[in-house]
Structures are given as C-alpha cells and as structure tokens.
Structure 1
Amino acid sequence: MTKGGFYGYFDGRPALLTEMLDEWERRCTKEVIAQVDAEGGDGAERIRRAGQLTFSEDLHRIDLAVRAWAHHDQSVATRLRRIDNERMEFLRKMFSTFITDPDEIEARSTLAFALAIGRHFIVADHPGHTKREAIQLAGELLLRPHL
C-alpha cells in the first residue's frame, strides 16, 4: 500500500491501531458470544464452544499479540481489561448454570480462562498424552458438574 493509499483509509497510525483493536474485539469476543448464544446448549457446551472459537490458532495468536502490546500501551491495556472482564463474565454466567457456589464459579472461571490463554506457553511433557490431549483433559475436568 502506498502512503497516499494508507491515508485514504486511515487518518494516521492511531486510527489504524484503533481499527486493529476494533477488529480483534469483534472477531475474538463479540462474534464468538453471539455465535455461542445462537447455537445454544447448556453452560458447559457453551463454554466449550466459546473456547474453540476464541482460541483457534489464528485468533489465539492475535490475542497473544494484543496482550504483549498491552504491556507497552496503557490504552490497549485498558481495552484488554474491558474485554477480559467481558469474557470472564461470560464464563461466570455459564458456570453458574451448573455450579452454585460463588467461590467455585470464580475459581473455575479463572482456571478456564488461564488455561485458554496460557496453553500456548506450556512446554512440559505429558506422559501418555499429547499436549493438546492434556489441555483438553484439563478443560473437561473444569466443566464437570462436581469436582
């Protein structure tokens, strides 16, 4: 793209960066929750589906890049906090459909979110399982009605 072409689309670098964040928010949160709501299912099914959609490899890479960016830009950090709060609220709402203890709802929501984000950083061996299988087992454990 030429410099002139760039300014035909954006009023400058800040506008481009805002558009990038808008696209990330739309694709990784708004559209995911809308699709999960439209497909229905019980709370565990909705959490499972949201995780599959949100943290597909392409969207997960974008999410990690936004998180790295947020370490250096306060406005991005503020936006990331808002989106993470929206995602956590979704998890709390879904877990509350089959868990009644508020502390357990918070713990499971936090663990599920940490697993979804942090799975990329796990490099440990998983005897008898692939990394993907071990992460799936951990996620399924969190979705059991009673631990």
Structure 2
Amino acid sequence: MPAQARTPRSDWIAAGLTALARGGPEAVRVEPLARELGATKGSFYWHFDDRAGLLEAMLDEWERTVVDDVIAQIDAGGGDARDRLRRLFALAGSFRDLPAVELAIRDWARRDAGVARRLKRLDNRRLDYMRTLFAAFADDDADAEVRCTLAFALFVGHPLIAADHPGRTRRDVLDLALAHLLR
C-alpha cells in the first residue's frame, strides 16, 4: 500500500484505539501505526505534536463516543425513562469493539493517575445520566442508586465473565438481568 501524505486524523485515532485494545497504551506507537495505516510518520506529525497528543485524542474520542454521542442518541429518541434505558442497554451492547477498549482504558487507569481522573469523571457522567433515568421509576434514591450501580457493573463486568449459563445463552441471561433492573 503506498504511503499517504495525510492520513486523516480520525484514522490515526481509530488505529490507536485498536492498538490500545490489543495491547494497552504501550502498543500505541507511531511507527507500527504508520505501517498499519500505510502512512508516513510525517502524516502523524501533521495531526499530532507527539505520541502523548495521540493518546489524549484517543481518550477524547472515546469520551465523545461513549458518553456525549450515546446520551444525545438516547435523548433524541424520546420516550419515558424505561424506554431510554432499554435503548441505552441495546446501544451499549451494539458496540462491537467497545468492551476491549473499555477494559484497556480501565487497566491503563490503574497505572496512570491522569487517565484514572478522566475515567472517574466519565464514569460519574455515565452514572449521573443513568441515575436520573432510574430515579424516574425507582422506589427511592437508594433503589435508583442500586439499579444504576448494578447496570453499570453489568456493562463493565459482563465481558469478563467466562461462566456457562445452563439452559440459557449469555444474551438470555443479560436480557433477564436488564429486564429485572427495569421492573
């Protein structure tokens, strides 16, 4: 593949997120990404001052995708709180690469205080949004908080569970859990 003079910035970010999911932040390196993209290092430096700039742009893109875009999409669909939560759960389950990137960022945050601060802010934004939805039909604030926490724990932890569910698929069990949270 011939090298491109200016591979789009979004391609560098997407390739960086793929590398992050595959091997953590250590796997996000300019030369291997350039080879993968069929681009020059000059193309990289057209968009970013350095590797740290790419890492920051990757986190920006992740935040936009998993918080800003998701909330906008869910709210645009209208409906009551349960309808919005159903759409939120369906949307969260539709992101093919999200679990790997999500887990890589969470692992990265264990070793990088700046990433940990950002992750905490994003998790708080996600939980605040769900909290308002659950509060619309929960018995009280404690019930809303429990439902919100369980839903988020299910989202983060479900990809890590390797157990079988006798007589049910993983999807069946996830659907049952989410239906229980919405009762």
Deviation at 1:136, TM superposition (A): 1.2
Runs of 5+ unmatched residues, structure 1: none
Paired with 2:98 and 2:152, the residues of 1 have a C-alpha distance of 15
1:57 to 2:116 alignment: no
Paired with 1:12 and 1:45, the residues of 2 have a C-alpha distance of 43
Matches within 5 A, 1:136-147: 136-144=175-183
Aligned to 1:48: 86
Paired with 2:101 and 2:90, the residues of 1 have a C-alpha distance of 15
Aligned to 1:134: 173
Deviation at 1:46, TM superposition (A): 1.0
Calculate percent identity across the aligned residue pairs: 50
Aligned to 1:27: 65
Paired with 2:56 and 2:89, the residues of 1 have a C-alpha distance of 25
Structure with greater Cα Rg: 2
Aligned to 1:107: 146
CA contact (8 A) 1:29 1:54 kept: no
Runs of 5+ unmatched residues, structure 2: 1-38
Q: How many residues align?
A: 144
Secondary structure of 2:55 counterpart: helix
Moved >3 Å (runs of 4+): none
CA contact (8 A) 1:54 1:60 kept: no
TM-score (norm 2): 0.75
Paired with 2:61 and 2:146, the residues of 1 have a C-alpha distance of 30
- Across the aligned residues of Structure 1 and Structure 2, the Cα RMSD in angstroms comes to 1.2
Paired with 1:39 and 1:19, the residues of 2 have a C-alpha distance of 28
Deviation at 1:60, TM superposition (A): 2.4
